[in-house]
Amino acid sequence: MKKNVIVSQSGGPTPVINSTLRGIVELCRSMPDIFGEVYAGFHGIEGVLKEELINLSAQKEEEIAYLSTTPAAGGIGTCRYKLRSNQTEDFDRVIDIFKAHNIGYFFYIGGNDSMDTANKVAKLAVEKGLDLIGIGGPKTIDNDVGDSEFKIIDHTPGYGSVARYWALNIQHANEENEGSCPADPVLVLQAMGRKIGFIPAAARLADPKREMPLQIYMTESKVSLPELADNVNDELHRSKRCIVVVSEGFDVGDIGARRDNFGHVSFGASQMTVTQAVVNYLNEHGLKAKGLARGDTPGTDQRRNMIYASTVDIEEAYKLGQQAALIAAKGESGYMSTILRNPGPIYSVRYDKVPLEVVANSERFFPESWIAPNRMDVTDDFVRYARPLIGDNWPAIPLLNGIQRFARIEPLFVPQALPAYVPQGLR
């Protein structure tokens, strides 16, 4: 008897997370001899626990296809609920759900924490004698899944799009700053990425020849606020203007940070932005130019903006979803689909698999060798790494009546077979 499928998403959204979802769903649909019905956990593992399962097999094919240009997990939702080792009731509930709905395949799209969850569920299923294949699909704009040697995964879906967002954003910011610098000589912009610098580093893609008065401060730069101010004033002396990109994890002291359910600092929910702290400091301590420093914090726009998405990122996210389903079709469990860069000057990739436990126990840092000696820039090696990821074309965004046409996933919920349940972490 064929087994059914559950696919869920976890963590922060990306512009291309739904493209991975589409890859999984379409490939499962193309193999009806292997895969049964395809369900989605509505809002991630929370939906699985609550038995809120959307029937994706019953959706129109065109709506599934629209997922590739529908950003930010708007189709089936995501969550920040973490299955912790001591939450035995939750794990038992997941197994009960799988049994009740004849689930033989579980796909989980997310970052390190999600891969850890997928790994725990896959192992528990074996312990409970359940015939289940658990597969992970990588996702994060932060590009922090894997290792700093790029042997586990070269880059994560979502990063190429946010990198493109910042390349174009800095281009626009430079035009504004150049035009308005007599009154507003300094523009400070805050990039996402928590405490890893891949996103702010992408600002350099706007100006690989270093013709702009652009300074980039990642958390890893280890530059103090007074040092930043001195650097800005030096640039004002040279150029009369300066664009400053700071990581949301840049140390400016207490910003009233709050944490999400994964334990990560949720900078967007903090009492003060890093941008505002830097702007305040610059204006209070004086600029070596007339006018004031101004700030801009794009916030979550950078992780949901489909217009700026990378065509390379969209395609690779889709193929990683397909790869996840192909791994499952071969009967292999406990793996994450991965993307690896082929050697050589021309960008090309191959798709493979890596054990979930390897991913779950790994951690990627921004390479120290990619930080410029002046600590306020990145090297050409980073530019060569990141440039192919942003692509060369605008994405083909479908419009209807002048506004974007998103996938319309109908709320076709599978009938519930078990008593209502409140996840342990929500009690």
Exposed e or buried b per residue across 203-236, where buried means at least 16 C-beta atoms within 10 angstroms of its C-beta: bbbbbeeeebbbbbbbbbbebebeebbebbbebb
Encoded amino acid at 360, one letter: A
The residue type at 391: G
Q: Output DSSP code: residue 215.
A: E
Q: Give the sheet arrangement for strand 186-191, strand by strand.
A: 214-217, 242-247, 186-191, 293-296
The pair of three-digit structure tokens given for residue 276, joined into one six-digit string? 């505002």
Q: H helices of 128-192, where?
A: 159-180
In single-letter form, the type of residue at position 115 comes to M
Residue 404 one-letter amino acid: Q
**CA terminus-to-terminus distance, the chain:** 37
The amino acid occupying position 17 is: I
Give dist(CA 297, CA 339) in Å, integer: 31
Active-site residue flag, 142: yes
Question: What is the C-alpha separation between 32 and 147, in angstroms, rounded?
Answer: 36
Q: Is 185 exposed, middle or buried (0-12, 13-18, 19+ CB in 10 A)?
A: buried
CA–CA–CA angle 352, 74, 317 (5° rounding): 20
From the CA atom positions of the chain, what is the Rg in Å?
Answer: 23
3-state secondary structure of 426: helix
String of DSSP letters for 225-251: HHHHHHHHHHHHHHHS-EEEEEETT--
Which helix (H) or strand (E) segment holds residue 301: the answer is: helix 301-304
Residue 376: which of 177, 203, 237 has the closest Cα? 203
CA distance 121 to 135: 10
Question: Which residues partner with 107 through β-bridges?
Answer: 7, 135
Catalytic residue among 90, 116, 142, 154: 142
What is the token pair recorded at 396? 């083909």
For 405, residues 6+ apart whose C-beta sits below 8 A from its C-beta are 66, 69, 398, 399
Residues with catalytic roles: 142
